[in-house]
Every structure is written in structure tokens, then in C-alpha cells.
Amino acid sequence: MKKSIITLACALIAPLAFAQTSTTTTETTKTNPVTGTTTTETTTTYSAGTVTTYEPGKTIVVKSETGPVSFALGTAARIVDGAGKIVTAPLRSGQKVKVYYTGPTEKRVVERVVVDED
């Protein structure tokens, strides 16, 4: 009975541990005019999910837990693997990715797309 309760508890908690689909880090540089000290804060956000649609150099649509998210790919966007090496093959539907971007929702700028190698 004790094993059943522990198993059930783990089964209920596990989805919460793996449910994270985005993270934000912020960077802003400010200089105090009185002391001359500078502080820096960085903003980078990523959305994780599976590719549903990909048009090289144009758009990528990623299905996350919150639904599909569309991103415009600019000329500076890089598609890399987990080691940071450039991926030359086009993305396929169903591939797991993390799309790192900056800016607010309506003006997202993709910095890089990291392809999971699972």
C-alpha cells in the first residue's frame, strides 16, 4: 500500500517538474550618475515544444503546452544543435526545439533555435 501511494504521488508530481516551456532572463545596463557604477541585466526568453510548420528563413511554428506559437525568423536567427553547431538540414515537423527570442510577444525577434537530439 505504501508503495502504491508513493508511486501515485510521483506520477502526480512528475508532470509539474517537466512542464516548464519558457524561461526569461533580463539584461539592462544602468549607470548611477552619482557613483558611476554600472549594473547589467539581460532578457532572453525561450519557448520549447515541437515543430509543426517550418519555412526556412521565414517562419517557424512550435506547438507548446499552451498551444501553437509562431515566430518570424530574421537573417540573424541561427539553428543549432545542443552543442551549438549550426544545423544545415531543414527542420522537420515533430522535432523538439527551444526557440530563444527577445522582445515582447507582438515583436519577438528570434536569436536562435536549438534542436533537441532525442
Structure confidence by residue, pLDDT tens digits, 4-17: 555 444 444 433 33
Give me the pLDDT at residue 107, please. Answer: 76
Superfamily (CATH H level) for 20-115 = Copper binding periplasmic protein CusF (2.40.50.320)
Amino acid 18: pLDDT: 34
Mean pLDDT of all residues in the chain?
A: 77
Q: Which amino acid is at 114?
A: V
Sequence spans of domains, the chain: 20-115
Residue 16 has a pLDDT of 32
The stretch 92-98 carries a mean pLDDT of: 95
The DSSP-derived string for 58-116 is TEEEEEETTEEEEEE--TT-EEEETTSPBP-SPP-TT-EEEEEEES-GGG-EEEEEEEP
Q: pLDDT confidence of 37, banded at 50, 70, 90?
A: confident
* pTM across the whole model: 0.64
